[in-house]
Structure 1
Amino acid sequence: MELLRNYYKKEKPKQWVFEGVNSSKYSAESILNVVKQAAKRAKIKKRVDPHILRHSFATHHLEQGTDLRYIQEGLGHGSSKTTEIYTHVSKTDFCKFKNPIDDLINTS
């Protein structure tokens, strides 16, 4: 966050967080290349693209307890059905899952 904060103070972008030449937005291809290069430098072996970042953003918010309607609005989804794809079972949430039957078995 500190790097992003410093960048923002220095560059003072007008319309886009990361602006290209003459304050224009980056092309989808340019963004894809930047994300792939960053993943390569970080030695990430999995497939990485900008949509994965968006998906991670939504998933982390859900895991932190953010209301699905806020995530829907933040992602610009018109329908809650579109946002619900981010409610896949995460490892973090699944580990919290507790089966009441386990309590019966473990207390006997």
Structure 2
Amino acid sequence: MSNEHNHNHEEEDRYITLVNENGDEELFEILLTFDSEEYEKSYVLFYPVGEAEDEDEDGGTVHAYAYIPTEDGGLGELLPIETDEEWEMIEEVFNTFVEDEEEQ
């Protein structure tokens, strides 16, 4: 099984700005993006910038959304995750990603 993670993203592609429920902009750092053939969707995981340093290693809030990529490879519109099965699949990918990071 090959894990091909070729990340040649420009620096600004690592960040995403979202407007929270108070109407304030929040900056998030993208942890990873991946595609699922099973669900025929692309997914993005990200966390608030600065939060990872403030928490212990396991801390921080990671957000996950499905998205429809734009023609130029951008995130496009973020879509909520709708099923428990999708959440379980995302959690599995995330846990594998974390384990791989810790090994390096």
The TM-score range, normalised by the shorter chain, is: under 0.3
- The structure with the greater share of residues assigned to strand is 2
The alignment's TM-score, normalised by the length of structure 1, stands at 0.22
Structure with bigger gyration radius = 1
- The structure with the greater share of residues assigned to helix is 1
